[in-house]
Amino acid sequence: MEPKMTNEQDNKGYRFNRRRFVGSALLAGALAEAQAQTEKKVQSAGAAIKGAGCQAAGQLAERVGLTAQRLLSGQIPEFSREFVLADVALAPERRFNEYSGDLSGRYIGALALLPARQSGQRLEAVVKELIGHQRPDGRFGDAHLVFKADQIGPKHMALLWGNGRLLVGLLEYYEASRDQKVLETARRLGRFLLAVREDCSEPSVLRRLEGQGASGYICFTQLIEGLVLLKRATGDVTLLKAASSIVPLLQPRGIQHAHGYLCTLRGILMLYEETKEPGHLAFVEDAYRDLVRSPDFTEFGSVLEYFGWKSSGRSDADRSTIAQASGKEARDEGCGHADFLRLSLALWKQTGKLEYLERAESCLWNAFYLNQFRSGDFGHHVCSGPGVKPTDNLARAWWCCTMHGYRAFPDLLGGVVTGTGQEIRVNLYEEVDWSDGANVLKLRRAPRGARPGEWRFSIDVNQAAIRSAVFALRLPRWADEVGVLVNGQPVAIQSQEGYGKIERAWRPGDRIELRLGCRLVFRREDGTTFPAEQLTAKPVQASLMLGPWLMGVDSVREPLFFGEPWQGNVVHLGKSAAVTPLSADSADPSIGLVLPASYVHGGFTGQHSLKMRPVADAYRHDNAIVAVWLRFG
């Protein structure tokens, strides 16, 4: 359903259509001040935050800066050179050293593609020392592991996983530096991986590794990504043939590790980009389609750490296997969210299908951002029936997710604005400063003055190389209405293939303002949706989307909501709830969106006030309850 286009304006500005709303929402009046404070904080943290001609600003800069600061100056553990290289030096002891090259490769690649201030010299020293740990046969790590089909097991897969991640990281570093010593190191590592490919491809090896989780066969299939990158760096097309031979070996999702499975799909899509073999694209699209239609796809718009938790028909043995690998309760993983986000963006770029872009946006706001800790780490959260719940084993996954989460930001920055010359497309409404060398744009959320249920976004033209050009603005399906103003005056736009187009003579100083009416939609557990008008006195279990945001209630800001027996609470969205801007000293500047509501507690009578917020804002509160499946009446 496309949003309704409107140019309606009164003497106070744009008039929002409330027909689809029961209840209301707001954007914080303090957002401008919070944004300025955020940018100052990020700059002082030392994050340059640039990628693909795009520099993060506002909340996006805060998110990137948190993780950049964690990687460069965070403590406990500190990412010292000795600590980063422990998985190739095999000393000092730390968790997961047997995945040789995993942490070090991710660290190198992430900071190479999205440098933070003063990270260059540090990376150069890390890479120089890392090269010295390469074994004579090209591998990194345990030199005594023999890669013969009758001997290959989980320890071999762990080494392959780490070496595969390291190959990717080295080649990403080479892409940024053009350091020939790094390329030669990557070549030697590639030759080692090719040498073990035949033995690893034996059916007996595949059978032996079933149910081994993060040390299973996906440690081998994920090598496709590195082999494709090596071909791009060297021009050796034989690497594509080797990568293609691995594709049929990827097993169905089953109870696999989601991160490894999605890494493999990303690699196959990269292989398609090089070969244009339609079968590779079809393979990825079919796997993606099957995933998002399955119980393995969550209400947060992403995946759990392991597939199979919610699938019917699983045996006790299957569930025991998952529990041994992931814990007794289902949890998510920052790596999986980063992979799903990157895979969705890559599919959109290859196919032009907006479904993939929309799923990337949903994953970003409702899974990826929730997963990030206020320390800047990414990691794991326990996913309970109602949403997310506290755990006695808080997993800020410094060994993988922190770097892999950071690695997703360059892909995101590369998708916000695309195109050059006669048509510039705004695909994602993220705060950035964008330039193609000739045109310079500044994209920002409006700081104040938004009406209920309306999200405002501005695009400032700071430099325009071509006077007559088309701006194509994505018309999100989560918007009821889209109003567009240029220099304060409403304009008509041409709706075409999910974008609204404006053509005119652009000049520096021009401003485009979008006013997006956020659609409010309830989703049942079976995936069907319904509007607020269909709520009745009989409570229904559902989650709630307001525009692109999954709304929830968290135990830090609404502690009394969670008093026993809170699962019986019934939430009501009032028909004329008052809208009051958040105060200037608000502790919630990151999104600043609040949906006023009330509830009747499951243990006693009476209407009690409640504020629902996007789950993305809950990252500020470690180890809290975040309830998204609620009873609405």
Q: Residues 108-122: pLDDT tens digits?
A: 999 999 999 889 999
- Rounded to whole angstroms, the Cα distance separating 61 from 38 reads 8
**133 contacts 188 by C-beta, under 8 angstroms:** no
Which band of pLDDT confidence, cut at 50, 70 and 90, is reported for residue 591? Answer: low
Is the pLDDT reported for residue 20 higher than 80?
no
Query: 588 vs 528, which has greater pLDDT?
Result: 528
What pLDDT, on the 0 to 100 scale, is given for residue 581? 34
pLDDT at 472 over 60: yes
In this predicted structure, the answer to whether residue 52 has a pLDDT above a threshold of 50 is no
Q: What is the mean pLDDT of residues 338-343?
A: 99
CATH of domain 32-418: 1.50.10.20
Per-residue pLDDT tens over the stretch 278-337 = 999 999 999 999 999 999 999 999 999 999 888 766 777 777 878 877 888 999 999 999
User: What local confidence, expressed as pLDDT, does residue 583 receive?
Assistant: 30
Between 2 and 318, whose confidence is greater?
A: 318
Q: Is the pTM of this model over 0.95?
A: no
Say what the pLDDT of residue 106 is: 99
Handedness of CA 210, 212, 218, 223 (dihedral sign): negative
Structure token pair of residue 12: 């106070």
CA–CA distance, 497 with 484 (Å, rounded to integer):
17
The domain defined by 4-31+419-518 folds into: Immunoglobulin-like (2.60.40)
Strands 4-6, 479-486: pairing kind: parallel
Neighbour count for residue 277 (Cβ, 10 Å)? 15
pLDDT, tens digit (0-9, with 9 covering 90-100), for 429-455: 999 999 988 889 999 987 654 566 788
Q: pLDDT tens digits for 205-235? A: 999 998 777 889 999 999 999 999 999 999 9
- Residue 143: count other Cβ atoms within 10 Å of its Cβ: 10
Average pLDDT, the chain: 88
Q: How many Cβ atoms from other residues are within 10 Å of residue 544's Cβ?
A: 23
Q: Is the pLDDT of residue 548 over 50?
A: yes
Task: Domain ranges for the chain, please list them.
Answer: 4-31+419-518, 32-418, 520-632
> What is the reported pLDDT for 37?
43
pLDDT tens profile 247-279: 999 999 988 999 999 999 999 999 999 999 999
Task: Specify the pLDDT at position 5.
Answer: 56
Query: What Rg do the C-alpha atoms of the chain give, in angstroms?
Result: 25
Provide, rounded to the nearest whole percent, the portion of the chain with pLDDT above 70.
Answer: 87
Q: Is residue 16's pLDDT more than 50?
A: no
Q: What is the pLDDT of residue 464?
A: 84
Percent residues over pLDDT 90 in the chain: 76
How much is the pLDDT for 447?
A: 61
Joined tokens for residue 471? 């701006």
pLDDT of residue 448: 52
Pick the more confident residue, 533 or 319: 533
- Could you give the CA distance from residue 206 to residue 195 in angstroms, rounded to a whole number? 17
Q: What is the mean pLDDT of residues 1-27?
A: 38
| Cis geometry, peptide bond prior to residue 565 (ω within 30 degrees of 0) | yes
- With a cut of 80, say whether residue 26 has pLDDT above it: no
How large is the average pLDDT for residues 458-465? Answer: 91
